Structure 1
């Protein structure tokens, strides 16, 4: 069975496309087999929602009178450091940026209360933020100090650009040391006191197209509550990871860089997140529609929680010393029970991503495709290590 992207988009335009979420299609394939499922389904939708530290936004401000040059000066937004080294009126705000003073919560000292991610959430929530600029002044940009309040619509441009999102596979984090450690994977208790992971499992976008056969540069996807695009491979992208017999990666692997119009996004799918003892991050909602152009794509899109296994990593040694403790692998299905066995010990397991919100994204994207409001795009180039399917 083969179908083209044009055939799928024609069905989407006519309201006749058959769309399943990545969770729904698992049962269909078990019931009918890959061949019949591929003949029936046109599109499979995926979703994920969790902290993605490598995120941020860039802005262009309306110029003051007299004009001011941000480049070479300093800029802050609601007290949070931003980067102004691009040009006269452009600045970039990273999700993990913090204010210069102690940003921790007075009641809970380990909890960072406000950073770049929270500024982004404030803006998409309709709030105004205070931008402060200090500059050295030039003949064409003589002003040296400026501050103003901006809402999202007040900027000339506001763009979410995330260099690394939607990790295809990541670690299950544990702690073998004798002290509690505070990491981007959350609080890890000593002596294998708990395990933390972050994934949407069978809904996860890049796990449902593990060889990146339908996703590449230029792919349109759901991003932060609106549409966005794959701009490039993400930082730390691994082009040729070791794979299992189902083509699933066995270690942290593919990532994607995403871009979209921040003014069209929603705080439901962009949330500032405080990571205790570590800092702040931006929880991002991403949903990828997968065109079922052949049976191989269907087989991969029917990945289940039982199929996906994660490496268990000791973060007291691997970070920062770089030594690896071989603690085995564990499936998402086992992790989702809330307790797992590591080194002959039963320990609680917690997820930093929201499976419920990921499911919501997959269902919302399904609805948009069914109603003809979300057409699929052909990538203009493959991601490193990938070969695009004939579409």
Structure 2
């Protein structure tokens, strides 16, 4: 068995593990800090909305030796607006300029063609209106709202409302972190980004449901046992599914990472790059939240119930009583093994370490005469004589 498989077996049997539930406040603090940073980046820098959302023109050049930096400087010079230039591979450039109408688009294309040393007809120009992007955004928000409502209803029926609430908080946590990363780093928000964000919800929810299923199975007969508290069983369940959850996330991240770093970074995949980027950030956040947010939050909600709190107190009281009884039994066993005072140990010493002899012990039991130290006369002395006097 591999080391990872052996670790998974030990985690499942409860022989090893990390106290996620016991240290949940630390993880809550880390998540809150990340969320605050994400919101700060969103408020300070804002989102870099793509041309599909703000309108403008997209110019695609044929294969050229013009650098990305030069193309961006020239596009901003002739248009008067900020430009985004991407290399799509084999020297093909994609130039996005926002806030342009048809006449401005034609003029910018001609000036770019003249500077790049090519014909204007060789540069493909597409004019995008902001209405299309706003429709996509509205549909995305509607889909997000409907999805979350259905998720809460399903989890409340399949598990319980506390798990549904925890899963909803974890989903919001994942989306917030992903949007915050886009704002801080300055990634462009495109329709591909929206598709990736909606896809994140399914992956994050899948990982959370795997963890919740193990928690439900472990705590099924919770009140019929008196060995573990609810938090301890929840933590044991989480450690039991930890390796499975990590493996699921890694397997999902590997193709996304390949699409992002190879397809986007090397080949310049355009729309696929935007989708892969949002998926990579969202899946990483989802793996994190399903482990350190979802289950500890469910345990927090459950341990607030009067029945669970009362049972946890009984478990802890029984555990303390068993420990006290074991301590008393150990003390009694240790006392029974000590030698009585005045009786020699195996090395010929008494309780205080003083030498003890058998003759001295016998002397204490014999009445003493005037001398106090004369030994008694033998019993056979003077037998068969009229008197004990020596002739």
Please state which band the TM-score falls in when normalised by the shorter chain.
Answer: under 0.3
Higher helix share: 2
The structure whose Rg is larger is: 2
The structure whose RCO (Cα within 8 Å, separation 6+) is larger is 1
Higher strand share: 1
When normalised by structure 1's length, the TM-score is 0.22
